[in-house]
């Protein structure tokens, strides 16, 4: 394709997006990554340009922002901000997680919602895209404080969501406990027991494998990538960041497939266990994080291994890297360190964990690089399966859901190859995922007219 015109197209489009919302760097980053890989395809398919599909896709269908007042255990009043970005409903009800973290703002949620639209499309399930959350920090809050916050948050959110309208789930800071409190309040307000949230407990409408799905799915995707080079996870040294939901189950699956997990982290630092985190040590991490809500440093103290204070884990020698904590946690310097130390694959459990400069480095190095919207789509895919089970009023077995998750990840991998294979045989998974995700949403938007 004409590189000059695609360069101009990218620049013009980014100027347009930045001029509309100048203070949203994370959103600009997510859009730029997509536009860079879509430009040639769009110029080759001008019907999408004439319909201004991309301009429509970067404009949320609706943004809801609201006040969330709550009182702590001492009776002090706090006011947080709640949001729901309803980004795109072309292929189904808005679907995407809720994040509770002090950094939450419109830029972060718009980047997540924009990525979610394309990710959900890749799953082949009928889900539009959305994201929401609050700048509330669940750390060091009692269960009662978290409950009161969730009830206040849901008191407003309830009027905007519904099983055919918008179906939220978890993300950073929102796990089983929070989904329980949110669901309880929704049910109370609406007097309705429906599948309005996913990630519910299995006793009350949740799906087996949903907690495991994002981490397992990321590892299934990594295994497919390795297969293209006649390789596998077995015997590989794996660096994982984070120690929350996604990191824990990515680690569990890597261990099951015979890989050696040598790192985990949280926002205070990383642990490096060269002997490998085995199932027993992982059970300690799960108890530490999910029950006691402690810090990963306690692992280093218990097993007498190295703690990298305030550092991310990318300086250690590894074959595979699975970033599973948060956005922009691998910068260009860290990306270079990874490839220099022999890392052959990066698969993203977290959303946008790699800066754009670092993405370019991975692609230029021609390593296997699996971007978030493909590699971590297993979480929302099983959310989609939870919605299906809720509608059918039945529950599938663990094996059934896991095998569906596995097929979905294999299928996403196939689509990435279909749209991302370059003339020299290298698969650019970023391009593949973006084009494959885009086409279905774009065609649906065209079919539904100017809405």
Closest by CA to 27, choosing from 113, 87, 96, is 113
Could you tell me the maximum CA-CA distance found in the chain, to the nearest angstrom?
Answer: 64
Q: Tell which residue, 199, 189, 181, has the closest CA to residue 142.
A: 181
> From the CB of 386, what's the least distance to ligand NDP, in Å?
11
131 is catalytic: yes
Whether 441 contacts 57, CB under 8 Å: yes
Residue from 118, 150, 325, 436 that binds ligand NDP (CB under 6 A)? 325
Residue 324 touches which of ligand 2IT, ligand NDP, none (CB < 5 to 8 A by kind)? ligand NDP
Note whether 326 binds ligand NDP by CB under 6 A.
yes
Q: How many Cβ atoms from other residues are within 10 Å of residue 19's Cβ?
A: 8
- Partner from ligand 2IT, ligand NDP, none binding residue 172, C-beta < 5-8 Å depending on class: ligand NDP
- Under rule CB under 6 A, residue 376 binds ligand NDP: yes
User: With contact defined as beta carbons under 8 Å apart, do 249 and 216 qualify?
Assistant: yes
Q: Which of 87, 300, 350, 358 binds ligand NDP (CB under 6 A)?
A: 350
Q: Which residues contact 261 (CB under 8 A, 6 or more apart)?
A: 238, 240, 251, 254, 255, 276, 277, 282
Min dist. Cβ of residue 197 to ligand 2IT (A): 9
Q: Are 196 and 186 in contact (CB under 8 A)?
A: yes
Contact indicator for 30, 114 with CB cutoff of 8 Å: yes
Select the binding partner of residue 6 from ligand NDP, ligand 2IT, none (C-beta < 5 to 8 A, by kind): none
Minimum Å distance from CB 172 to ligand NDP?
Answer: 4
Determine the interface stretch with ligand NDP among 32-40, 275-283, 322-330, 400-408 (rule: CB under 6 A).
322-330
Q: Report the residue number, 185 or 218, with the smaller CB distance to ligand NDP.
A: 218
Angle, nearest 10°, between helix axes 429-447 and 398-420?
100
Q: In the bound complex, which residue of the shown chain has the CB atom lying closest to ligand 2IT? A: 97
Footprint of ligand 2IT (CB under 6 A): 95-97, 116, 119, 169, 171, 198, 351, 379-380, 383
Residue with smaller CB distance to ligand NDP, 286 or 395: 286
Residue 437 in the binding site for ligand NDP (CB under 6 A):
no
The residue within the footprint of ligand NDP, chosen from 128, 259, 349, 437 (CB under 6 A), is 349
Please, what is the Cα angle at 86 between 80 and 89, to 5 degrees? Answer: 165
Q: Is 242 in the site for ligand NDP (CB under 6 A)?
A: yes
Instruction: Report how far residue 386's alpha carbon sits from residue 165's, in angstroms, rounded to the nearest whole number.
Output: 16
Which candidate, 146, 133, 63, 66, places its Cα nearest to that of 105?
A: 133
Query: To 5 degrees, how large is the angle CA 233–CA 239–CA 240?
Result: 100
Give me the least distance between CB of 126 and ligand NDP, in Å please: 18
Nearer to ligand 2IT, 344 or 380 (CB): 380
Residue of 95, 110, 119, 131 marked active site: 131
Are the CB atoms for 377 and 408 separated by under 8 Å?
yes
In whole angstroms, give the CA distance from residue 51 to residue 411.
29
**Does position 171 bind ligand NDP by CB under 6 A?**
yes
Total binding residues toward ligand NDP, as defined by CB under 6 A: 23
- Is the Cβ–Cβ distance between 218 and 349 less than 8 Å? yes
> CB of residue 327 vs ligand NDP: minimum separation in angstroms?
6
Task: Find the shortest distance in angstroms from Cβ 386 to ligand 2IT.
Answer: 8
By CB under 6 A, name the one of 35, 68, 233, 324 that touches ligand NDP.
324
Q: Which residues belong to the active site? A: 131
Q: Which residues contribute to the site for ligand NDP (CB under 6 A)?
A: 170-173, 175, 214, 242-247, 266-268, 324-326, 349-351, 376, 379
């Amino acid at each position: 394709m004409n590189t000059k015109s695609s360069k101009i197209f990218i620049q013009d489009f980014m100027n347009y997006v930045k001029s509309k919302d100048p203070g949203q760097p994370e959103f600009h980053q997510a859009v730029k990554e997509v536009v860079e890989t879509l430009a040639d395809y769009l110029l080759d398919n001008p019907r999408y340009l004439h319909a201004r599909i991309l301009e429509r896709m970067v404009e949320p269908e609706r943004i809801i922002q609201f006040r969330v007042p709550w009182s702590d255990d001492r009776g002090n009043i706090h006011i947080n901000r709640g949001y729901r970005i309803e980004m795109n409903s072309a292929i189904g009800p808005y679907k995407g997680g809720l994040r509770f973290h002090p950094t939450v703002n419109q830029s972060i949620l718009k980047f997540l919602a924009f990525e979610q639209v394309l990710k959900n499309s890749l799953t082949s399930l009928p889900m539009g895209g959305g994201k929401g959350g609050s700048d509330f920090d669940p750390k060091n809050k009692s269960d009662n404080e978290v409950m009161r916050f969730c009830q206040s948050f849901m008191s407003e959110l309830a009027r905007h969501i519904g099983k055919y309208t918008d179906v939220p789930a978890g993300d950073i800071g929102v796990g089983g406990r929070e989904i329980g409190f949110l669901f309880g309040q929704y049910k109370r307000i609406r007097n309705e027991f429906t599948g309005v949230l996913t990630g519910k407990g299995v006793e009350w409408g949740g799906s087996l494998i949903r907690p495991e799905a994002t981490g397992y799915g990321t590892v299934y995707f990594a295994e497919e990538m390795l297969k293209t080079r006649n390789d596998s996870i077995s015997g590989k040294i794996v660096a994982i960041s984070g120690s929350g939901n996604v990191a824990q189950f990515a680690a569990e699956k890597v261990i099951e497939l015979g890989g050696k997990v040598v790192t985990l982290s949280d926002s205070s630092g990383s642990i490096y266990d060269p002997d490998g985190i085995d199932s027993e040590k992982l059970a300690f991490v799960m108890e530490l994080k999910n029950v006691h809500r402690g810090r990963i440093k306690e692992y280093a103290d218990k097993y007498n291994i190295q703690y990298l204070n305030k550092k991310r884990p990318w300086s250690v020698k590894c074959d595979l890297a699975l970033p599973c904590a948060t956005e922009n946690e691998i910068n260009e310097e860290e990306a270079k360190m990874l490839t220099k130390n022999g890392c052959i694959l990066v698969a993203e459990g977290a959303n946008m964990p790699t800066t754009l400069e670092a993405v370019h480095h991975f692609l230029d190095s021609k390593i296997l690089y699996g971007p978030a919207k493909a590699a971590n789509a297993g979480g929302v895919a099983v959310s989609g399966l939870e919605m299906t089970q809720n509608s059918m009023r039945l529950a599938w077995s663990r094996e059934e859901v896991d095998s569906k998750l596995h097929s979905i990840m294999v299928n996403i991998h196939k689509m990435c190859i279909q749209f991302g294979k370059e003339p020299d045989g290298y698969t650019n998974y970023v391009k593949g995922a973006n084009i494959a995700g885009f086409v279905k949403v774009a065609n649906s938007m065209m079919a539904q007219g100017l809405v």
